Amino acid sequence: MSMNLPPLVQSFVLHFGEMGSRWGINRTVGQIYALLYVSPGPLCADEIVAALGISRSNVSMGLRELQAWSLVLLKHLPDDRRDFFTTPDDIWLILRTLAEERKKREVDPTLSVLREILMEQPASDIERHAQQRMAEMHNMIERLTTWYDDVKQLDQERLATLLTLGSRVTRLLETTDRIVSLGRKRRPTTKG
Amino acid sequence: MSMNLPPLVQSFVLHFGEMGSRWGINRTVGQIYALLYVSPGPLCADEIVAALGISRSNVSMGLRELQAWSLVLLKHLPDDRRDFFTTPDDIWLILRTLAEERKKREVDPTLSVLREILMEQPASDIERHAQQRMAEMHNMIERLTTWYDDVKQLDQERLATLLTLGSRVTRLLETTDRIVSLGRKRRPTTKG
DNA sequence: CGGTAGTTTCAGAAATTTCTGAAATTACCA
DNA sequence: TGGTAATTTCAGAAATTTCTGAAACTACCG
């Protein structure tokens, strides 16, 4: 059985399928997501089967995984017993969800393992050195995640500002430093 | 054959091995990286074989992949024919490398596929809608990568400032807006 | 109840990825 | 040139992941 889609949609779906493995999901999961993302309305499982040419059970499992990622939502249409599925409309929301889930799965476990190991007493110079390296890694990850936790709260407008400003922010900071004198350089640790 | 490592290092190495699949690398590649990362000096391939208890050829392939990612460097010690390997010391450099490589492999291809598809002429309402969704995705990714390309130029100190400031940046921006009047709201597109 | 439309589960088949040992290759030295 | 130490390649074995069809389950209806 093979795909049955408008050519332009098919290219997109196939690409997501191929990239799937690089993104840590599998081919069909990638395809299902891509299909739902570009579809004008919710689809039911059998429509996905027909569109992608894969087995019903595979679709069921794929949808299950995508729901676990909160990247696909279950919908019910009136007077229809079937389950329908969509992706959230707001692309920024999608991005946040993705970031959130990846952090949860790919970063948090490492952070907690690092913390555990850093509690241990080193028994040799080798171990002492290893701990030091782990501490560096831990600190970096922690700084990044703190920044992320902080920035993710921003509403879309401010996020947009931040994005368009980019690195010019720091130049601005230096100016502000001089003018408003929030500067850490001028007065060491006033800590307001 | 099994591992032969100080317990504290072993925990770290095993964790990186397990996480490997979530990060899009395989178990042994993760382990090799972890081992080199915490080792006090460069190691040669046979030392890695001994430490991790895997085959020589597997180590060779793993190192090859890590070098392709620029996460592991080849070193030569004086009066020694063997190849030795290390990870870069500077953890911020490691982070940049990682970001750069992931972008290259996980984002850029999608961006270019999206561009291609967006050039096509839609042949139906379905395709028109699909293109619109793809355009949203394309724009978002482009904004993010532009921001990233911009911010990655920053030296470490400024990056640190940016990180510790986090979302407070926007509050600061509003203040600055009022004081220095760089504001986009007050005077539309003065563009300095 | 029994029937039906829909969904999920799961054991094993199929496909893919990872790993190994043996052979080939490279680089250096005398 | 031949000898040796180190490294890489690669075909197939082993392990893992993905996918399927059949069976089980769920919920609604008459």
Calculate how close chain B gets to A75, using CA atoms only, in Å. 20
Same domain? For B74 and B121 the reply is: no
Task: Name the strand (E) or helix (H) holding A169.
Answer: helix A168-180
B79 and B37 in a single domain? The answer is yes
B46 touches strand D (CB under 7 A): yes
Domain interval for residue B69? 7-86
Asked whether residue B28 is assigned to any structural domain, the reply reads: yes
pLDDT digits (tens, 9 = 90+) for B16-74: 999 998 898 999 999 999 999 999 999 999 999 999 999 999 999 999 999 999 999 99
Could you say which of A19, A130, A168 has the minimum Cβ distance to residue B110?
A19
Mutate to test the interface with A, among B169, B171, B172 (most CBs of A within 10 A): B169
- Is A2 domain-assigned? no
**In this structure, are B117 and B74 located in the same domain?**
no
Residues A130 and A185 in one domain: no
Question: Of A21, A23, A40, A35, which Cα lies nearest the Cα of A63?
Answer: A35
Phi, psi of A44 (to 5 degrees): -95, 165
**Torsion-angle region of A91 (φ positive above 0: left; ψ -120 to 50: alpha; else: beta):** alpha
> Which of A53, A38, A43 lies closest to A3, judged by CA?
A53
The two three-digit tokens of residue B110, written as one number? 């999608």
Same domain for A108 and A133, yes or no, is yes
Give the CA-to-C1' distance from B98 to D9 in angstroms.
28
Q: CA-based diameter of chain A, in Å?
A: 71
Pair B114, A8: CB distance under 8 Å = no
Query: Are residues B169 and B127 part of one domain?
Result: no
Q: Are residues B53 and B101 in the same domain?
A: no
Q: What is the mean pLDDT of residues A54-83?
A: 95
Asked whether residue A186 falls in the same domain as residue A146, the answer is no
pLDDT given at position A186: 44
Residue A1 lies in a domain: no
What is the DSSP-derived secondary structure letter of residue A75? Answer: E
pLDDT in tens, B121-144: 999 999 999 999 999 999 999 999
Integer Cα distance of B4 and B24 in angstroms: 26
A24 → closest Cβ in B22, B39, B95: B22
Whether residue A167 sits in one domain with residue A97: no
pLDDT, tens digit, 9 for 90 and up, residues A34-58: 999 999 999 999 999 999 999 999 9
Comparing alpha-carbon positions, the chain B residue that sits nearest to A101 is: B22
- Other CB atoms within 10 A of residue B49 CB: 18
Q: φ, ψ for residue A95 (rounded to 5)? A: -60, -45
